[in-house]
Each structure stands twice: as C-alpha cells, then as structure tokens.
A and B are shown apart, each in its own frame.
Chain A
Amino acid sequence: MEQVYDLLVLGGGPAGLAAGMYGARARMKTGIIEKGRPGGQAATTEDLENYPGFGRGTTGPGLTQAMADHATSFGAEFIKDTIVALDLKSSPKKVIGKKGEYLGKAIIYALGAEPRMLKAPGEGKLRGKGVSYCATCDADLFEELDVAVVGSGDAAIEEAEYLSKFADNVSVIVIHEEGKVDANQVSFERARQNPKLKWIWNSIVKSINGEELVESITLKNIKTGEESDYPINGVFIFIGTVPLTEVLAGQVELNQQGYIVTDEKMAASVEGVFAAGDVRAKYLRQVVTAASDGAIAAVAAEKYVHETELWEKEVLQAQQPVVVAYYNPTDMSGTEKVGMVDRFVRDHKGLALVKVDATRNELVGRRYNIDLDRLPRLHLFINGEVKREADDIDEASLEALVKSL
C-alpha cells in the first residue's frame, strides 16, 4: 500500500512492454502488472515477420521476451497479478489485483484483446477437445489430422498456413464470395498456392459436433441456405478479437465495441489514464502499432505526472494566494502583459505568481477550460480554488483581482 508508482502499466503485451521501457528510461518508478508471462497475444504467434528490423525467422515469443528484458534493463518492475478492479478517480489512482493493491500517479491501460468466440453450439464444450483459438499452442497435436480454420482476416490466413505444416488438410471457412478475404493480398496469394489449403466460400459454422472430441462441423451456405455436415478433427477460430475492458465499464469512454477511445496522445476520457495497444479504438492492430502506442502513452503520462506534481506543489498546496497567468509564448503583446503581472506581483507582498504556457500544459488547460483563443488571462487561486479571474490585463484589473486580500 505504501509505495506509489509514478507509472503503472496494466498488461505485459508489446504495448505495455514498450510503455514500461519508455517510462523506466525516463526515470519514472514504473510497474508493469501482468497476470502471466509477458508477451500478450504476440507471444502466441510463432512466425512474426513484420516488425521493422526483425525479418524472417523472428518469433512472437522471442521478440516479446526481448521487449520484456529491455524494459527490465531500464528498471521497470514486473508485478505478477490479475487485475480485478480500478479506482481511477482517486489520487493516486488505485489498481486492485487478486493479490494486492497498487497505487499509481498515472495509468497506462494495455490489457489488449482476446479471441472472439463463434458462439456456435458445441464450441464451449469442445474447447481443448479440437476447438482452439491458438494455432501455435495446439498445431502439432493435429499432425496427420484434418482441421478447419474459421475466418478470413490476417490471423486466419496466416495461421491456416502455419497449420498446414502439421495437419493433412486445412479447410478455410470464409463467409465472403469466392476470392474475397479480409486478409492482406500478399498473405492471401501465398496461401492460395498452398496445396494443403481448401477454400469453402459463402459459408458459416452453424455448430461444432462431437461427443468427447470434435467429429464434425455443420456448415451453412449463406447463398443457398443449404446445410451440410463436414467431418473434421479440429476447428481453429480466428474471427477477430474482443477488448478486455470489462473493469473499465462506466469509468472511461468506450466505443460501441468496447474499445477505449483516446486522443492522439493516448489519453482516455479520465485524467491521467492512457490506453495503448489492441485495447484502444484504432485502425491497425499490429505489434509495431502497439509498441508505438506504448511509447506515446508513456511520454504523455510522464508529462502528466510532472505537470500534476508541479501544479499541486506551486498552486494547489500553496500557503499564500497565487496568481496564475495563462499565456501563449508566441503572442508578443500577451507576453508583455504577463511581464506587467510579474512586476505587479513582485510589488505585492504575500502573493505568488505561476506562469503557465497554456499551449503546452494540457493538464491545466483541460482542468480549467482554458480557451487558447483568449490568452493571456489570469486566475487567482486561494487554498487550491479559483476565487477570481481577469480576462483583460491592466493595472485596474490587477488591482481588482487582489483587492482586500
């Protein structure tokens, strides 16, 4: 309970590991909370050949382990726990895990996503009995057997290729018209050359059947409505992911699919909370974009922590009344006026002045709704609260601001 982290990173996938590395390197006391081994979904991908600088032969577990070591080398601390609840409104923010509670001045939420389920009858019962969401984990059990891959995105097509190294036949069940997939063209064209892959178009899986192990799937052709039983030993499901944001419900803004909405600095709708990686509403979910999110989030979080602490110390906790001057440094007449405020405060005992570059300090801008088109302006803080304000800065407004203090 006692120790407070500058930065708590939730999740140890590529986004969290990059954030942890950047945070620790910036000398923040950084903790990465991860329930298992670091690596996230990337650690379940065997061939990972599109991370810049790491070409063919790179593996998901290998790359993510290197990222974890990198973060550790700068001093990031790994905490092994499962997150069950969050209190994001408190200060510092509180993370409640199964094993303990953790406090952080800023939080980067990078818990990622998990495979989406088909929701077909038999899927739950036969999980681990032929139904799988991880080709790397289970592929070699299907040597000499027949498997189906459901889906047509990058993961589906690439994992189908991987499975073909083990299974005798790999049938790819695609909902679209013949020749149309959601995956990138390069992967698709390569997969089409693979003689072990069979393509079943216009089809969805109605049910997965079997007593103890998967025996067949029932397919429905969505064009003709025709249903048929298809004997198979395994079903690998790659129909996208769902974000792990349940603990955030009602606390930060999520989009309709449950992904966290952020601005380009990865800031979520609650101050001091950032999101990175697959859990964020974004265009491209790859290891490289996860790492990029993590870096941005860590830099933004560091700035937030620094600004909050400074504001806390110099304004909110100040003993004497504080005049805060918000200004834009590129506006010459504005900065001249701030110079006048400077002289004025120097002549008044018991007053302090804090100058805020409102174009850079987002924390303050956001908290006090500072309109960048109406700078400079002044606030008078007493005991941590705005008591008076002045829009036009001249001798008269300054006198009025501090009158009868």
Chain B
Amino acid sequence: MIEVTKDNFDTEVLNAQGIVMVDWWGPKCERCLELMPHVEELAGKYRGKVKFCSVDTSGNRRLAIGQKVLGLPAILFYENGQKIDEISGQEITPEDIEAKLQQHVE
C-alpha cells in the first residue's frame, strides 16, 4: 500500500501504467477503518497485478473532491491514469472490492 497525498497523486496514480486501486478513507470513517485490514490483505494477494494506494481524505480534501469523492469509504480504480470504476458507501464489503479487482485484472 502506498500512502498517497495531493503532492504525489499525479505521479503514483494518474501517470502510472496498469491498474491502480485507490482506497479513500478518513480517520472518522468507522467503516473505512473496518475495511482497511481487508484492503491490506487484498494488496498482498494482488501484488504485481494491481498497484494499491490509499488517501487520507482528512488532509487531502480538494484532491478527493477533484476525483469526485464526496462520501466514504470509496474505492476507485484507474487504468493507465483513467478512472475506470468505483464503489462507495457504508455497505461495501471486502467481497465487493475483491469482485471488482478480479473483474479488472482479467
């Protein structure tokens, strides 16, 4: 997992080749904190296939809004710098995230 901020978002996500998954979270988002260990696990499982990044929105609010993230948790997928998919909302599960990963890895 790469911690991404407004300073390196372009380099790590928008200018990256291949599939990048970005986990947008915040310290007060309980559901985000709940998902985090599962996302870490998925990062291990998909190592080499998908690049995993996370953004703490509490210090990167404008970046979040720029990426049309206005609700947490939000998981966004990029391919060669283009946003290709996203899931968000309180009820997303680790299984939902993995289903999306599988879909985009294939």
Interface residues, chain A, with chain B CB atoms under 8 Å away: 36-37, 39, 43-44, 46, 61, 82, 127-134, 136-143, 212-214, 233-234
Is B68 a contact partner of A137 (Cβ separation < 8 A)? no
Cross-chain contact A129 with B34 (CB below 8 angstroms): no
CB-based nearest B residue for A131? B71
Q: What is the total of A-B residue contacts with beta carbons within 8 Å?
A: 72
A37 to chain B, nearest CB (A): 4
Given contacts A140-B58, A143-B61, A213-B68, contact A128 B30 (CB under 8 A): no
Cross-interface CB contact of B28 among A128, A132, A136, cutoff 8 Å = A136
Task: Determine the distance from Cα of A136 to Cα of B58 in the docked complex, in whole angstroms.
Answer: 12
- Determine whether the beta carbon of A129 is less than 8 Å from that of B30: no
CB distance from A209 to the nearest CB of B (A): 14
B4 interfacial contact with A, CB 8 Å: no
User: Does the CB pair B31–A36 fall under 8 Å?
Assistant: yes
CB contact between B29 and one of A39, A137, A142 (< 8 Å): that residue: A137
Point out the residues of chain B lying under 8 angstroms from A132, CB to CB.
70-71
Say yes or no for B33: interface residue by CB 8 A criterion. yes
Separation of A138 and B89 alpha carbons in the complex (Å):
11
Contacting residues, chain B, for A129 (C-beta < 8 A): 68, 70-71
Complex Cα gap A141–B29 (Å): 11
4 smallest beta-carbon distances between A and B, as pairs: A128-B71, A128-B88, A37-B34, A137-B29
The number of chain B residues with a CB under 8 A from chain A is 23
Q: Within 8 Å CB of B81, what residues of A?
A: none
Give chain B residues whose Cβ lies under 8 Å from the Cβ of A141.
26, 57, 61, 64-65, 69-72
Chain A residues whose C-beta falls within 8 Å of the C-beta of B90 in the assembled complex: 133-134, 137
Extra pairs beyond A127-B71, A233-B70 (6, CB < 8 Å): A128-B69, A137-B29, A138-B29, A141-B61, A141-B71, A212-B68
Residues of A within 8 A of B65 (CB): 141, 213
Residues on B with C-beta less than 8 A from A133 are 90
- Chain B residues near A213 (CB-CB < 8 A): 65, 68, 70
Closest to A144 in B: B61
CB pairs A–B below 8 angstroms (15 shown): A128-B69, A128-B74, A133-B90, A136-B29, A137-B32, A137-B71, A138-B72, A140-B26, A141-B69, A141-B71, A213-B65, A213-B70, A214-B70, A233-B70, A234-B70
Docked CA distance A43–B28 (Å): 10
Would A127 and B57 count as touching, CB distance under 8 A?
no
For B71, the closest partner residue in chain A by CB is A128
Decide if B64 touches A37 in the complex (CB within 8 Å): no
Mask of B16-44 contacts with A, CB within 8 angstroms, 1/0: 00000000001011111110000000000
Q: Which residues of B contact A214 (CB under 8 A)?
A: 70
Bound form: Cα–Cα A323–B69 in Å: 71
How far, in angstroms, from A324 to B59 measured CA to CA in the complex?
Answer: 71
Residue of B nearest to A98 (CB): B95
Docked Cα-Cα span, A143 to B65, in Å, equals 11
Task: List residues of chain A with CB within 8 A of the CB of B57.
Answer: 140-141
Roughly how many angstroms separate A44 CA and B30 CA in the complex, as a whole number?
Answer: 7
Known: A134-B90, A140-B58. Is A37-B30 also a contact (CB below 8 A)?
A: yes
Residues of A within 8 A of B29 (CB): 136-138
Residue among B31, B68, B72, B90 facing the most chain A CB atoms (10 A cut-off): B90
Q: Which residues of B contact A212 (CB under 8 A)?
A: 68
Assuming the contacts A128-B88, A128-B89, A143-B61, asked whether A137 and B30 have C-beta atoms less than 8 A apart, the reply is yes
| List of A residues within 8 angstroms of B33 by Cβ | 37
Which listed residue (A39, A82, A137) contacts B72, Cβ 8 A? A137
- Of the candidates B28, B89, B93, the one having the most CB atoms from chain A within 10 angstroms of its own CB is B28
Is A127 within 8 A of B26, CB to CB? no
Is the pair A127, B89 in contact by a Cβ cutoff of 8 Å?
Answer: yes
Contacts of B68 in A (CB 8 A): 129, 212-213
For residue B54, give the distance in angstroms from its CB to the closest CB of chain A.
16
Q: Return A36 CB to nearest CB of chain B, in Å.
A: 5
Give A136 to B90 CA distance when docked, in angstroms. 12
Query: In this complex, what residue of B is CB-closest to A37?
Result: B34
A136 contact set on B, CB distance < 8 A: 28-30
Q: Are B70 and A140 in contact (CB under 8 A)?
A: no
Q: Is the CB of A138 within 8 A of B70?
A: yes
**How many angstroms between the C-alpha atoms of A44 and B90 in the bound complex?**
11
B61 to chain A, nearest CB (A): 6
Q: Which residues of B contact A134 (CB under 8 A)?
A: 90
Closest to A139 in B: B28
Residue of A nearest to B86 (CB): A128
With the chains together, A132 CA to B69 CA distance in Å? 12
In the complex, A39 Cα to B28 Cα: how many Å? 14
